[in-house]
Structure 1
Amino acid sequence: MEVAKVLHMNGGVGDASYANNSFVQQKLICLTKPLREEAIKSLYCGTLPRRLAMADLGCSSGQHALIVVSDFIKTVEKLCLELNHKSPEYKVFFNDLPGNDFNNIFKSLDSFKQKLCEEMESGIGPCYFFGAPGSFYGRIFSNQSVHFIHSSYSLQWLSKVPECIDNNKSNIYLGRTSPSNVVRAYYEQYQRDFSLFLKCRAEELVEGGRMILTIMGRRSDDPSSKDGCYIWEIMATALNDMVLQGIIKEEQLDTFNIPFYTPSPSEVKLEVLKEGSFAINCLEVSVVHWSAWDEWSVLDFESESGYNLTQSMRAVAESMLVSHFGEAIIDELFSRYQEILADRMSKEKTKFINVTILLTRKP
């Protein structure tokens, strides 16, 4: 699987689009708002820049990037009023892999800017918006050109599927039956990727620049534990059932693995300390229940349990599944997936674990 070519969230604004099926991502952005505001205030008051550049890495095609941009500009403008400073000039970069539906963001920019100006009666500084397609496991921006970097629910995606995991039978990610070499391969790929990410961002951020990252993670020290792998184990169950019924070939399933890793807080901290370019200001863990999809959904609460989460997982994983298995099995797969999800959610408290870290670029 060539991740940079295959991986992208479903574009557009249809029923299976990421834009309409990312309720937990919205909730996380709301949860991390106080920490972002703290970081932005500290950044501005410490440097008082005339020009501010921010970037959202893994922006996808929904409104999340615009929520973060709005919060960023509002926070700075309120500080300017308090300090009697002239508004700075803003540069905003939206980054994701080339297959991302950037147009979904760009089409809404005019209405976004108009709404922002209306909300900030005192006005805002000039704003310039740019697309920056490419993998964040490499350089994206010029040296010391960005002041603030945000990324939410993107860094759990690896740059590639780990090598030498052919014996990960019946799994599509780490699971309780994954051999130790598979667990080790996933962790080592995560280490290489996250270390490279930090190195690249250290070159791009100005001295004293801030970076806030939220990653789908786990509490357990065991990479194959349930709290980091359960959502993919359920999909693997649906795929295995389709193998037993002859809908999918066994060798197809055995050669499909997700380029994904859910790190623990200690693993995130270790890589930051090893790379050495950043000071850790805050490291925290949050929980979002799978039912958050139903809480945020525009559908009524009588809708079938698991539907919203199924639609969200389809928006996230469909591009990879189609690339490997073909389009013909997709509707059947997610119908089965929804049935299993509904059953599990009715019997246990299912949740996502999230690791958020706030970093400052060292001198």
Structure 2
Amino acid sequence: MAKENVLHMKGGVGETSYATNSSLQRKVIMEVKTILEENIILSVSNKSAKGCWKIADLGCSSGPNTLLSISNILDMIHNINMKLNHGKPVFQVYLNDVFENDFNTIFNLLPDFYQQVKEKNVGECFISATPGSFYGRLFPNNYIDFFHSSYSLHWLSQAPKHLVKNGEPLNKGNIYLSKTSPPSVYEAYFKQFERDFQYFLKLRFKELVLDGVMALTFIGRESHDKIISVQGIVGMVLNEMVLEGLVKKEKLDMFDFPIYHPTEEEVRQVIEAEGSFILQKVKTFKMACDANLQEDVNGYVVDSKMRGEFIAKYHRAVFEPILIASFGENIMDELFLKLAKMLEKLIEIETLEFTNIILFLTKDH
């Protein structure tokens, strides 16, 4: 069962860090920008003039993407305020992630960010870190005006609890949901997501002001019919490494990824059952796992080998801390080298893509 202290991205600014390998997440942020703007306009237009906007980014991770999200939100609110003659706003921004997150990488970017805010003249901005799991309380009651989260809520608080029966793992040979997983494993994953997401909603309801809003983007899926995920492919690589004597079979069988990709229907079901929020907008869109590769390589001809290496590299930045905790650091280079080669073969016959779910919610009175 994964512990919270390893549920973070790889820190620093090195070759395999999240800061260096998060261009796909950046592309998602820009894809969501228009939807976010449309809904922020409706929300801000219904508010009276506000002296200070308190904004929290949940699961901010490290690197430049967090400040891109914040910059977009500040620009949107400023522009609407100007149109409504509400005057120039002041922004208090809280960056949240688990205690082990590499906040220092973000802090090192702040001088340049503050200079950009000053040059754009959008209003004063103050940024603070708020470490802690968003599956726990983070702020006082009736405090935050706007919650934002991108690519974080598909992470569970922990792997499902009930995946072992009579000492035997139920999802043997897998590290995530697959076509060979029994129905009880699907049920356990959904129940864990349901518990976590409902609790997340209850907490945010307490922390939001009366007319507070949330914009959430995370990875989902279309249905049970097609379960092809990079986690599943990592599991295939680990099975190869078991046969080669590089990984113990017992460790593989007992490891379960603390991630769940819900369907839109499941998300609606949980929100409706919990009852604290009104779902104002939901939208899904697909994106290839290597959607930003062509931009990253500056026009070079992209082949399957490059695509496989690209996908493996940015998943290493996301998955490595949790995999090290279970399998040790010494196999990581070999694991992700093998992953790149397996992806190179798979992308010739399979479409590897994410289904993204975007939610815009308002606090139900």
Q: 1:317 aligns with which of 282, 298, 319?
A: 319
User: Does the 8 A contact of 1:286 with 1:354 survive in 2?
Assistant: yes
Q: Hey, what does 1:276 align to over in structure 2?
A: 275
User: Does the 8 A contact of 2:234 with 2:339 survive in 1?
Assistant: yes
**2-side partners of 1:94 and 1:213: how far apart?**
15
Q: Hey, what does 1:148 align to over in structure 2?
A: 146
User: Does the 8 A contact of 2:27 with 2:292 survive in 1?
Assistant: no
Superposition pairs of residues 282-293 of structure 1, within 5 angstroms: 282-293=281-292
The answer to whether the aligner puts 1:33 opposite 2:36 as a matched pair is no
**Which residue type is aligned with residue 10 of structure 1?**
K
Q: Hey, what does 1:265 align to over in structure 2?
A: 264
**TM-score with structure 2 length normalisation?**
0.94
- Give the number of aligned pairs: 356
In the TM superposition, residue 181 of structure 1 has moved relative to its aligned partner by: 1.5
What percentage of residue pairs aligned between the two structures are identical? 40
Q: Hey, what does 2:18 align to over in structure 1?
A: 18
In the TM superposition, residue 38 of structure 1 has moved relative to its aligned partner by: 2.1
The answer to whether the aligner puts 1:89 opposite 2:90 as a matched pair is yes
Q: Hey, what does 2:247 align to over in structure 1?
A: 248
**Which residue type is aligned with residue 249 of structure 2?**
E
In the TM superposition, residue 7 of structure 1 has moved relative to its aligned partner by: 1.5
**1-side partners of 2:2 and 2:320: how far apart?**
15
SS at match of 2:211: strand
Q: Hey, what does 2:132 align to over in structure 1?
A: 134
The answer to whether the aligner puts 1:193 opposite 2:196 as a matched pair is yes
Structure 2 residues not aligned, in runs of 5+? 164-168
**Which residue type is aligned with residue 23 of structure 2?**
F
In the TM superposition, residue 170 of structure 1 has moved relative to its aligned partner by: 0.5
SS at match of 1:27: helix
String of CA shifts for 1:165-207, please: whole Å, max 9, x gaps.
Answer: 1221110011111122111111110100000000001111111
**1-side partners of 2:232 and 2:8: how far apart?**
21
**1-side partners of 2:43 and 2:146: how far apart?**
8
**Which residue type is aligned with residue 124 of structure 1?**
V
**Which residue type is aligned with residue 184 of structure 1?**
E
Q: Hey, what does 1:226 align to over in structure 2?
A: 226
SS at match of 1:98: coil
String of CA shifts for 1:282-340, please: whole Å, max 9, x gaps.
Answer: 11111001221413324644472311110111001100111111111111111110000
In the TM superposition, residue 125 of structure 1 has moved relative to its aligned partner by: 2.1
User: Does the 8 A contact of 1:54 with 1:147 survive in 2?
Assistant: yes
**Which residue type is aligned with residue 6 of structure 2?**
V
In the TM superposition, residue 2 of structure 1 has moved relative to its aligned partner by: 4.5
**Which residue type is aligned with residue 256 of structure 1?**
F
Q: Hey, what does 1:68 align to over in structure 2?
A: 69
Structure 1 residues not aligned, in runs of 5+? none
SS at match of 1:124: coil
User: Does the 8 A contact of 1:294 with 1:301 survive in 2?
Assistant: no
In the TM superposition, residue 105 of structure 1 has moved relative to its aligned partner by: 0.9
SS at match of 1:189: helix
SS at match of 1:133: coil
User: Does the 8 A contact of 1:88 with 1:125 survive in 2?
Assistant: yes
User: Does the 8 A contact of 1:256 with 1:324 survive in 2?
Assistant: yes
**2-side partners of 1:124 and 1:293: how far apart?**
30
**TM-score with structure 1 length normalisation?**
0.94
**2-side partners of 1:129 and 1:111: how far apart?**
13
Q: Hey, what does 2:53 align to over in structure 1?
A: 52
Q: Hey, what does 1:181 align to over in structure 2?
A: 184
Q: Hey, what does 1:338 align to over in structure 2?
A: 340
**2-side partners of 1:354 and 1:216: how far apart?**
5
